[in-house]
Amino acid sequence: MDISQFAIHSLMLILLITGFFLTVVSLPGNLFLFIIALLYGCYEGFQQFNLTVLATLFGMLVFGEVVEFAAGVVSARKEKASKRAMLAAVIGAVLGGVTGTAILPVIGSVLGASLGAFLASYVAEYTKQTDLAKAGRVAKSVLVGHVVGMLIKIAVGVGMIIVMGSHLPWH
């Protein structure tokens, strides 16, 4: 392997790790991974990252997004959460994930995103309904859905990284 191949593979490794951490903090890391795969495919003439690999990665990306969204909605709807609470949960998860990352990378990301979703949905539901008990039930349900969806999306991201890593020419 010459120095340029080593540099490209090193960059790919850094980008794969970056994509993983973006997913952990509730940012579009799996989309980032797919774009990296597409760009690498362009770079290498779609020999390793061919249409089949890219279609597989795209399918994984869509699956992860749909399941994450569905888990949150199903869980929130179980407690009849308002649309305001569901939207607040998404915004709270992103802001909490970014803040948590700044405080304590990785574990702070997960805790921050979960706490952000919980608090934002609680406040949003309470300001709409003025019922503390209902706001608490909604926030707890949103938290459960967020965590389940996030874990599934992270697992999909890891799967995408495995697929990409297995198609890189490591010789």
Do residues 143 and 73 make contact, with C-beta atoms less than 8 angstroms apart? no
Please report the pLDDT score of residue 70 as a whole number: 87
Locate the domains of the chain by residue range: 3-167
Instruction: Tell me if 106 sits within 8 A of 21, measured CB to CB.
Output: yes
> How many Å apart are CA 150 and CA 96, to the nearest integer?
13
pLDDT score recorded for residue 35: 97
Res 60: pLDDT: 97
- Select from 157, 132, 8 the least CA-distant residue to 68: 157
User: Cβ neighbours of residue 129 under 8 Å, at least 6 residues apart?
Assistant: 82, 135
Buried b / exposed e along 93-117 (16+ C-beta atoms within 10 A): bbbbbbbbbeeeeeebbbebbbbbb
End-to-end CA distance of the chain: 6
pLDDT tens digits for the chain (171 residues)? 688 888 888 899 999 999 998 888 777 899 999 999 999 999 999 999 999 999 999 999 999 999 988 888 888 888 888 888 888 988 998 899 889 888 887 778 788 888 998 999 999 899 988 888 989 999 999 889 888 988 999 999 999 999 999 998 875
Say what the pLDDT of residue 136 is.
Answer: 92
| Per-residue pLDDT at 108 | 84
Q: What is the pLDDT of residue 171?
A: 59
Q: Do the Cβ atoms of 65 and 160 come closer than 8 Å?
A: no
